Amino acid sequence: MNGMNGMNIPMVFSILSIGNEILSGDISNTNATYLAKRLTVSGHEVRRIVVVPDDVEEISSELKRLREMSDFVIVTGGLGVTHDDVTVEGIAKALNKKLVLNLEAVRMMEGRVESREAIEKMATLPEGAKVIKNDVGAAPGFIVENVLAMPGVPEEMKDIFSKVEKMFGCTPYYEERVRVEGFEDRIADLLEDLNKKYSGVSIGSYPKTGYINIKFSGHNRTEVGKAKEEFIRALENRGIPYREMT
């Protein structure tokens, strides 16, 4: 699969989740988790995951900041017809673009959405936006410049993302996991040494109750494998129980 520039190279992404319901704890941000995992296993880097309220100024300012540090920003939430669906306005303000009625978006919703007023609200998008059909719900997704916007309903987001995921391309990505019994203090020095030695390998430590999951990941299969095997040898030398995970 070829990326947006025709090459299979890693891209830097940020994810901007919009919604007061996330900030209040009424719902979990499962969209960001899903997108981050999909992008990571495709070999890309997720630099930021940010949540902002349903506020045009907040959306605009945060999107501007994220665009400066990312190749692409993925925005979820706030594309519906209620008073708090202001994502489109925030994106347009950040990109300094006019809001116009997108006729392709209108056609996508005709026959599926009864209210003409609702159709026109959801089809009013930043000038130059390329729309992506939503086969699960009403509001389409769209891409404008280096911003992908999708509805916040998880099944709708997944439907739209599945249609554009290939455009970002993918690069080799490998990961190995080891479960280590006990607490982090037993292995902190080992991880520090490995992190210095294998600069091209990301080493993550995820404490659980009574054990730690260690993840080795990167673009080079050999280096990832070497880091894991060296870690296992060190565990065995110390008599620390472990289990390789699949």
The mean pLDDT of 195-200, rounded to a whole number, is 95
> Is residue 93 domain-resident?
yes
Q: Could you tell me what percent of the chain has a pLDDT over 70?
A: 97
Any alpha helices (H) in the chain, and if so which ranges? Answer: 20-23, 30-41, 56-69, 87-95, 103-109, 116-122, 154-164, 188-197, 221-238
pLDDT in tens, 4-26: 544 578 999 999 999 999 999 99
Residue that terminates a domain, selected from 151, 168, 185: 168
The mean pLDDT of 138-142, rounded to a whole number, is 97
Tell whether the model's pLDDT for residue 3 goes beyond 60: no
Q: Going by DSSP bridges, is the β-strand pair 72-76/147-150 parallel, antiparallel, or unpaired? A: parallel
> Is residue 184 domain-resident?
yes
The mean pLDDT of 21-42, rounded to a whole number, is 97
128 and 235 part of one domain: no
36: left (phi over 0), alpha (psi -120 to 50) or beta: alpha
Return the structure tokens found at 217: 């990941």
34 and 148 part of one domain: yes
53 and 98 part of one domain: yes
Q: What is the CATH number of the domain that holds 163?
A: 3.40.980.10
pLDDT in tens, 60-115: 999 999 999 999 999 999 999 998 899 999 999 999 999 999 999 999 999 999 99
Residue 39 belongs to what domain range? Answer: 12-168
38 and 144 part of one domain: yes
What total of structural domains would you count in the chain? 2
Tell whether the model's pLDDT for residue 33 goes beyond 70: yes
> Is residue 65 domain-resident?
yes
